Chain A
Amino acid sequence: MSHLHEDKIKFLEQKANDIRESIIEMLVEAGSGHTAGPLGMADIFTAFYFHILNHNPRNPLWEERDRLVLSNGHICPVQYAALAHAGYFPMEELKTLRKFGTRLQGHPHKGALPGIEVSSGPLGSGLGQAAGIAFAARMDGRKFQTYCFMGDGEQDCGIIWESAMFIGKNKLSNLTAIIDRNNIQIDGMTEDIMPLEPLREKYESFGWHVLEINGHNFEEIIDAVEEAKAIYEKPTMIIAHTIPGKGIKEIEFDYKRTLGGKISSEHQ
């Protein structure tokens, strides 16, 4: 157990709540965008930007920073909100999401906004990029960690498994990936669209150390990352079970109302 101080957990819970509020405000203002993934991943993003990551919002390109690669770019509202709350850019800018001229593009654009490590949106390509960063870091003896956040829907992509094989082969233990296992994708439930299970065994057979956690429990999130860092002979995959739309009871688990659809102000 990480023995997180109770105050720390309360702080993270409050922060995650604030981030969820920001996400809803942003999406209402934008008039489009995904809600399920961002809300479901709010706790994990909070744990990373406010506890786990070794980073400096005032110096986003600091060479020794941990790299957080977001592969499923469509959940970027949660990353944008977390970055703003962490101090990477002014909070007011969140309202510009998806509008002409914004640095907060509909899907993230590296170079447009501080804290965005890679452009993403087309699914599946984050893991390979994270692998490249981790490989380069190991070549140069750098100590930073590389994290890759993925969706479960994008586990359908062939490139994910190309990358998983490469990372397993090269034992990139400085890379930890997290799958947002919320069981939904655009067309329905993942197990109906293209079954992923047994997901844990798939990654294990590719040479990964695999952990499964409750993606809304801060102690479990932080403990899993600590364990990943302690394992030197393998990369770690954390399958984080989350609730899509978490935090807004009316839309939790409802893929039809949370994926890609328009969110109305009644959900505020």
Chain B
Amino acid sequence: MPINPNAKLVSNVLDLKSVEQVPTRKGYGEGLFEAGEKDERIVALCADLTESTQMHLFAKKFPKRFIEIGVAEQNLAAVAAGLANYGKIPFISSYAMFSPGRNWEQIRTTICYNDVPVKIAGSHSGVSVGPDGATHQAIEDIAITRVIPNMVVIAPCDANEAKKATLAAAELNSPVYLRFTREKTPVCTTIETPFQIGRAEIFFESKKEKPDVAIISSGPLTHNALLAANDLEKDGMGVIVVNSHTIKPLDEKIIIETARKAGAIVTVEEHQIAGGMGSAVAELLSRNYPVPIEFVGVHDRFGESGVPGELITAFGMGVSDIKKASILANKRKS
């Protein structure tokens, strides 16, 4: 089995019919609850979306540490900055389109320039938000957060990883952007899967001695990347899949090593190609080890209404798209 045994993934990860499906925002809600139990300094602020951002678990258990801000995302960021300035560890939740979308300047100045440890949880990222349509589908959030100094950016691949990321973010003394999704997505990882902020994990590695392509993925599309890799391997290609949950700081070591081994890269993310994780990988490799890169993501257009699965396909982020990109990247090797 080409699944890396050290990644301790679920045994049925490649079986789309039986693999468990849970939204990553649920992992966030559980992680926040657990972090709140561990550390009294943790407070939670919401902008009129308590249940759909999964803050209700925390709010119910710790009502005095839960602050309802109303539909006022700029104030959400500023009040959190003040709480952190005093010594609290605030988590702020809304849909990613509104936070960090609408309140970007407050995040930049009052959280990141002040360098206070506010955790910004953006739910409902990507086109997989579905029927709500383009206004609610954040596909620019990685770009606008990773350009801010002091900010850490994490896009977990599943609900288990989301919980681990939330707990780890709570302990990190810096601003963090946590990116979550609305829809149920496959649970790839287990409690034993290693997780460390800033460290990418190899999830899949073909037995073939010399790999032909490496897929670097973040977020729930990592599951599509695994399915694509499995198909490609059956067709005789050597593939590595790296789950790069931390987009900033990137795990430079593993990405450069992988590029060196495979000689071609495909990046996979549910985000605009411009400015996303793929761009971060390209920035790194163009300086250190330039190889052909193909980018799977949204091509400079807005989302639209639809069923999540159908949108992923329509926007070119399905399993077959990842396979095509992998073949193309391999062909481009000189």
B289 at interface, CB cutoff 8 A: no
Q: How far is the CA of A128 from the CA of B84 in the complex (A)?
A: 12
Q: How far is the CA of A119 from the CA of B150 in the complex (A)?
A: 14
Whether the Cβ atoms of B72 and A165 lie closer than 8 Å is: yes
Whether the Cβ atoms of B70 and A132 lie closer than 8 Å is: no
What string of 1s and 0s marks CB contacts (under 8 Å) between A123-134 and chain B? 011011111111
Nearest A residue to B82, CB-CB: A132
A251 at interface, CB cutoff 8 A: no
List chain A residues, Cβ under 8 A from B105: 122
Q: How far is the CA of A131 from the CA of B70 in the complex (A)?
A: 15
B323 at interface, CB cutoff 8 A: no
Whether the Cβ atoms of A119 and B78 lie closer than 8 Å is: no
Nearest B residue to A132, CB-CB: B82
List chain B residues, Cβ under 8 A from A261: none
Interface 9-residue window, one of B15-23, B107-115, B167-175, B292-300:
B107-115
Nearest B residue to A63, CB-CB: B87
Q: How far is the CA of A117 from the CA of B72 in the complex (A)?
A: 23
Residue in A118, A124, A162, A165 whose beta carbon sits within 8 Å of that of B81 in the complex: A118
Q: How far is the CA of A110 from the CA of B74 in the complex (A)?
A: 20
Residue in B74, B88, B113 whose beta carbon sits within 8 Å of that of A119 in the complex: B113
Main secondary structure of the interface of B (DSSP, over half): helix
List chain A residues, Cβ under 8 A from B69: 162, 166
Closest chain-B Cβ to A66's Cβ sits at a distance in Å of 13
Closest chain-B Cβ to A109's Cβ sits at a distance in Å of 7
Whether the Cβ atoms of B67 and A135 lie closer than 8 Å is: yes
Whether the Cβ atoms of A159 and B82 lie closer than 8 Å is: no
Whether the Cβ atoms of B83 and A133 lie closer than 8 Å is: yes
Nearest A residue to B106, CB-CB: A125
Q: How far is the CA of A135 from the CA of B113 in the complex (A)?
A: 21
Most chain A beta-carbon contacts within 10 A, residue among B70, B75, B83, B114:
B75
Closest chain-B Cβ to A196's Cβ sits at a distance in Å of 19
Q: How far is the CA of A177 from the CA of B105 in the complex (A)?
A: 22
Whether the Cβ atoms of A166 and B85 lie closer than 8 Å is: no
Q: How far is the CA of A166 from the CA of B67 in the complex (A)?
A: 10
Q: How far is the CA of A134 from the CA of B69 in the complex (A)?
A: 15
What string of 1s and 0s marks CB contacts (under 8 Å) between B76-106 and chain A? 0111111111111010000000000000011
Whether the Cβ atoms of B82 and A111 lie closer than 8 Å is: no
List chain B residues, Cβ under 8 A from A139: 43, 64-65, 88
Take A118-B85, A118-B114, A135-B67 as given contacts and tell me if A129 and B78 are in contact as well, using a CB distance cutoff of 8 Å.
yes
Whether the Cβ atoms of A132 and B83 lie closer than 8 Å is: yes
Task: Give the interface residue-count category, chain A.
Answer: 20 to 34
A189 at interface, CB cutoff 8 A: no
Q: How far is the CA of A166 from the CA of B78 in the complex (A)?
A: 11
Whether the Cβ atoms of A135 and B79 lie closer than 8 Å is: yes
Q: How far is the CA of A50 from the CA of B115 in the complex (A)?
A: 29
Whether the Cβ atoms of A133 and B78 lie closer than 8 Å is: no
Q: How far is the CA of A125 from the CA of B72 in the complex (A)?
A: 13
List chain B residues, Cβ under 8 A from A159: 72, 74-75, 78, 106
Whether the Cβ atoms of A129 and B64 lie closer than 8 Å is: no
List chain A residues, Cβ under 8 A from B78: 125, 127-129, 131-132, 159, 163
Closest chain-B Cβ to A127's Cβ sits at a distance in Å of 8
Nearest A residue to B67, CB-CB: A135
List chain B residues, Cβ under 8 A from A117: 85
Nearest A residue to B47, CB-CB: A162
Whether the Cβ atoms of A110 and B114 lie closer than 8 Å is: yes
A199 at interface, CB cutoff 8 A: no
Take A119-B109, A119-B114, A120-B109 as given contacts and tell me if A128 and B74 are in contact as well, using a CB distance cutoff of 8 Å.
yes
Take A139-B64, A163-B78, A166-B69 as given contacts and tell me if A133 and B86 are in contact as well, using a CB distance cutoff of 8 Å.
yes
A53 at interface, CB cutoff 8 A: no
Whether the Cβ atoms of B113 and A109 lie closer than 8 Å is: yes
Q: How far is the CA of A33 from the CA of B304 in the complex (A)?
A: 47
List chain B residues, Cβ under 8 A from A165: 70, 72
Residue in B64, B74, B109, B114 whose beta carbon sits within 8 Å of that of A162 in the complex: B74
Closest chain-A Cβ to B100's Cβ sits at a distance in Å of 15
Nearest A residue to B71, CB-CB: A162
Whether the Cβ atoms of B114 and A132 lie closer than 8 Å is: no
CB within 8 Å of A: which residues of B? 43, 64-65, 67, 69-70, 72, 74-75, 77-88, 90, 105-106, 109-110, 113-115
23 CB-based A-B contacts, threshold 8 Å: A109-B113, A111-B114, A111-B115, A118-B85, A121-B109, A125-B110, A128-B82, A129-B78, A130-B82, A132-B80, A132-B90, A133-B85, A133-B86, A134-B82, A135-B83, A136-B43, A136-B82, A136-B86, A136-B87, A137-B86, A139-B88, A158-B74, A162-B69
CB within 8 Å of B: which residues of A? 69, 109-111, 117-122, 124-125, 127-137, 139, 158-159, 162-163, 165-166
New A-B contacts (13) at CB < 8 Å, excluding given A133-B83, A163-B78: A110-B114, A110-B115, A117-B85, A122-B105, A128-B79, A129-B78, A129-B79, A132-B81, A133-B85, A136-B83, A137-B86, A166-B69, A166-B72
